[in-house]
Amino acid sequence: MVPILALRAPLSALVWVLWLALLPAAASAQTPSGIDLGADVRTIFAAKCLECHNPDSDSSKARREFDGAWDLALVIAAWSDPVAFDLAPLWEVVSEGSMPPEDEDVAALTEQEAQLLLQWLEFGTPLPADGNRFVDLPMAARLLADALPSTAPAETTTRSWQQRLRIWLGRNHAAITHFPVALLLLAALMRVFQWSRWRQNAWRAEGFCLAFGAPCAILAAGLGWLNAANSGAASDLLERHRWVGVGVAGTSMLLLLLRKKYGARVFYAWLLLGLAIAVAIGGHQGGEMVFGESYLDF
């Protein structure tokens, strides 16, 4: 006998096919009480969700989780459950009160808004009665236009081997960056140990970390600038991150060159401490660009 759980996946697929076939009819569906839940939900998404969950959002974490809040059809596909409404992902986050997050500037859902979202799921996620499923019409027009095939003559997408090499090298920035971050921070830590009985060993370890960390820092900074140029990305955070990287690369090389003559001086120790702080700042900025500005919030 076939287990019931084994039938869940094909059953869900069949329900989705039937639901999509009936989607035009659902666009005008309303609850028995006559409330246009689709229109109310569209308003809630415009006020509470669209700011972060769209393709142009500044929050990379929110974009990765879901970037389709501009279209209720995308919301339904990603956040509802056609078999059991109370198992839908949207039901879970609304019930827990985890969206919008507390660290965002968007106000939390009111009790009435939360109840409307849950009722919307319970009544089968009807679209607005006016047939407009788009939370943001201008954004939808732009995104859908970008998705349509162009009528203009197609431009060749073939890249030369030099272009492919530049793109490939730039993408290695994230991997290479781990080496100077670890080595330069360890060099600063070795300076602390030079006030202990392991002075000589700490001095040699510091020199080793600088000898390898400084060239790696220069390479990582160069690849970072190349990666930004290839991607066409631009933001204030990226600009600060790039110049912090340049400062780290230059300072680490300066420390390496001055070490033999001035390595025992107090100003050298302070310069090494400043380098460690700059490395930490640059690493944090990189994390913010990848995971979002609130990724380390406690």
Residue-wise pLDDT for 248-263, tens only, equals 999 999 999 999 889 8
Q: Is the same domain home to 15 and 128?
A: yes
More confident residue, 292 or 274: 274
- 148 vs 140: CA distance, rounded Å: 12
Weakest-pLDDT range from 68-72, 109-113, 200-204, 233-237: 233-237
Torsions phi, psi of 160, nearest 5?
-70, 165
Q: Which residue has the tokens 């009160």?
A: 97
Predicted pLDDT of residue 12: 53
Q: Is the same domain home to 36 and 108?
A: yes
> Tokens for 104?
């965002």
Q: Is the same domain home to 92 and 133?
A: yes
- Is residue 212 assigned to a domain? yes
Query: Helices 161-171 and 173-193 sit at what angle, rounded to 10 degrees?
Result: 40
User: Is residue 182 scored above 50 in pLDDT?
Assistant: yes
Q: Is the same domain home to 138 and 186?
A: no
Q: Is the same domain home to 63 and 186?
A: no
User: Is residue 141 scored above 80 in pLDDT?
Assistant: yes
- Is residue 271 assigned to a domain? yes
Weakest-pLDDT range from 21-35, 66-80, 101-115: 21-35
Among residues of the chain, what percentage have pLDDT more than 70?
83
Predicted pLDDT of residue 264: 84
Q: Helices in 97-198 by DSSP H: which ranges?
A: 111-122, 137-147, 161-171, 173-193
- 248 vs 275: CA distance, rounded Å: 6
Torsions phi, psi of 71, nearest 5?
-135, 120
- 298 vs 290: CA distance, rounded Å: 18
CB 60 within 8 A of CB 292: yes
**142-143-147-148 Cα dihedral, nearest 10 degrees:** -30
Predicted pLDDT of residue 20: 47
Predicted pLDDT of residue 254: 94
158-184 average pLDDT score: 89
- Name 219's Cβ contacts closer than 8 Å, sequence gap at least 6: 176
- 64 vs 66: CA distance, rounded Å: 6
Angle formed at CA 131 by CA 127 and CA 136, multiple of 5 degrees:
80
Q: Is the same domain home to 217 and 258?
A: yes
- 141 vs 149: CA distance, rounded Å: 14
Which residues sit opposite 134 in a β-bridge? Answer: 71
Predicted pLDDT of residue 280: 94
CATH number at residue 249: 1.20.120
Which residues sit opposite 71 in a β-bridge? Answer: 134
Question: What's the structural domain count of the chain?
Answer: 2
Average pLDDT over the chain, rounded to an integer = 80
Residue 44, classified by CB atoms within 10 Å of its CB into exposed (0-12), middle (13-18) or buried (19+), is buried
Q: Is the same domain home to 127 and 203?
A: no
Cis peptide upstream of residue 55 (ω within 30 degrees of 0): no
Reading phi first (left if > 0) and then psi (alpha if -120 to 50, else beta), residue 31 is in beta
User: Is residue 3 scored above 60 in pLDDT?
Assistant: no
- pLDDT tens digits for range 17-54: 444 444 444 444 445 456 788 888 899 888 888 888 88
Q: Is the same domain home to 26 and 139?
A: yes
Q: Is the same domain home to 118 and 170?
A: no
Domain that holds residue 242: 161-291
Reading phi first (left if > 0) and then psi (alpha if -120 to 50, else beta), residue 34 is in left
CA distances from 221 to 122, 183, 260 (A): 52, 15, 25
CA distances from 191 to 80, 213, 250 (A): 56, 15, 19
67-85 average pLDDT score: 83
- Is residue 187 assigned to a domain? yes
Q: Is the same domain home to 137 and 168?
A: no
Tell me the whole-structure pTM to 2 decimals.
0.50
- 235 vs 226: CA distance, rounded Å: 15
How many CB atoms lie under 10 A from the CB of residue 126?
Answer: 22
- Is residue 2 assigned to a domain? no
- Mean pLDDT comparison of 40-44, 67-71, 135-139, highest-scoring range: 40-44
